[in-house]
Amino acid sequence: MSKQQLQTIQQVFELKFKKKQGAFLAVLQQEQQLRAQLKKLDTQLRNSQMDQHQNMQAIGADVIWQSWVERSKKSLNLELAQVLAQKETLLVNVKKDYGRLLVSRELYSTLKNTERTQTQARLLAAAIKGS
């Protein structure tokens, strides 16, 4: 395989890796947003339980509020589970593409070193012959 071919392969693997890495980072960001929303709901629920007024209890608003919070948390947790599953799949793909990228870099480096060694050997042989 030529040096140019290896360099092209390396560039292709680099692009694939960056694309998958970008998708992975987007999923990480989505996970963080969902976790932040869940934390915010927990905080609001905790605060509402401390600040419950008699008026809210009298009309049943506290029960409605807690029910809404629980439904929202359930929905967010379901979405978070889907994001985590997607994250796991993407992580496997990112690792695989990173491994391919490392191998292509190593092959390219080895080929460059081999060519350099061969060139030096030819130059040395020519210098010895010329002496």
The H or E element that residue 17 is part of is helix 3-50
Average pLDDT estimate for 33-55: 83
Ranked by mean pLDDT, the top range of 2-11, 54-63, 83-92, 112-121 is 83-92
Contacts with 90 (C-beta within 8 Å, 6 or more apart), sequence order: 20, 23, 24, 27
What DSSP letter does each residue of 41-105 carry, written as one string? HHHHHHHHHHS--HHHHHHTHHHHHHHHHHHHHHHHHHHHHHHHHHHHHHHHHHHHHHHHHHHHH
113 or 63, which is more confident: 113
Q: Which domain holds residue 46?
A: 3-130
Number of domains the chain contains: 1
Give residue 15's Cα distance to chain centre: 15
